[in-house]
Amino acid sequence: MPAAGVGSRRHQTRFARVLVVVLPASLLLTFVWKQVELEAPRFEFTGGLPRFDDPSAPEAALLAPAPTVVRYLPPASADGEACDAAERAALLRVGCAVGGGADGGAGWLRAQRWNESADCCQWSGVSCARGRVSRLQLVSTGCRGTLPTELAQLRSLRVLDLNDNPGLGGTLPTELAALPLLDHVYFFGDALSGTLPPALGSCGALRELELSHCKLSGTLPATLPPRLQYTFLESNRVSGTLPAALAELRGLSELELSENRLSGSVPRALNARHLKHLDLQHNDRLRGVAKEAASSQCSGGGAKYLRGGAFAEPAAEPS
């Protein structure tokens, strides 16, 4: 075989070996870089360079650089999709409602930097999945007034977290029961009043309800969300008897109803459940309450509540 042919084959073999190493490495680097682009803060620069393409401008203006403006751009959505236009409009109405004040909530919107971006998935406290709002977390943001019914227009909402907004009052909107994926609701330390709506029982996906240290009154609904696991209603004004539905919740793990005005007897079936956390103390007219201190392993109640891993898996579609 001619030497030239042998050399050519050797060259091709070496090239193939290099390609086997280089191609996967380049694909891996590209993937890593894309992830960094999604997570890293981005900045937009405008101005800062002199222009020489305008012959009519004075020489001093040509040589002087334009003012530099640096504007922070939040990380892109993980799925790369901008929010739904109808949900963006609903969020603005929610912001105006909870912002309150003589300016119709405009000051609150500015403080939260909402509406700076056309994509509401980039707004503070808002998270999206496939362009639909999945979480609204406005903890200690000065929300006030009453809860707007426009929250029910966020049809893909899973997590509603408005903890520690003592100026936020009114009642829990019955419209929330129509949200098919809502599984975590937090209003700890707010001024919510009134009773828990009977419609709450139709919240098919709801797993955690945190309404401690509010101003709730009335009785507990006879029907409760079937998937409820964590219920925190500590330090309210809830009265009446404990509904039998509590003992029928198969997934119930923690129940915190201390410091209310409950009466009657604790259902035997509930006492027999051996929940991870059960606290019914400081209800003076409630009989059958355990005298020993409640378990300290409570995930919620007080200033603590579930986070992190509780949101790792998307909520299943209610059956």
Is residue 37 within a helix (H) or strand (E), and if so which, with residue range?
helix 3-39
Residue 112: burial class (beta carbons within 10 Å; 0-12, 13-18, 19+) = buried
* Among 91, 95, 88, residue whose Cα is nearest residue 119: 88
What digits encode the pLDDT tens for the residues 27-68? 666 554 544 444 444 433 334 433 334 444 444 443 444 443
Characterise 41 by phi-psi region: left (phi > 0), alpha (psi -120 to 50), beta (else): beta
What digits encode the pLDDT tens for the residues 140-181? 999 999 999 999 999 999 999 999 999 999 999 999 999 999
- Answer with the residue of higher pLDDT: 2 or 51: 2
β 132-137/144-146 pair status: unpaired
CB-based contacts of 216: which residues, under 8 Å, 6+ apart?
Answer: 192, 193, 194, 195, 196, 233, 236, 237, 238
pLDDT bin (cut points 50, 70, 90) of residue 110 is very high
Angle at 189 between CA 270 and CA 107, to 5 degrees: 145
Q: Would you say how long the chain is, in residues?
A: 319
Do the beta carbons of residue 186 and residue 318 sit within 8 Å?
A: no
pLDDT of residue 307: 38
pLDDT bin (cut points 50, 70, 90) of residue 304 is very low
Do the beta carbons of residue 173 and residue 199 sit within 8 Å?
A: no
Judge whether residue 113 has pLDDT over 50.
Answer: yes
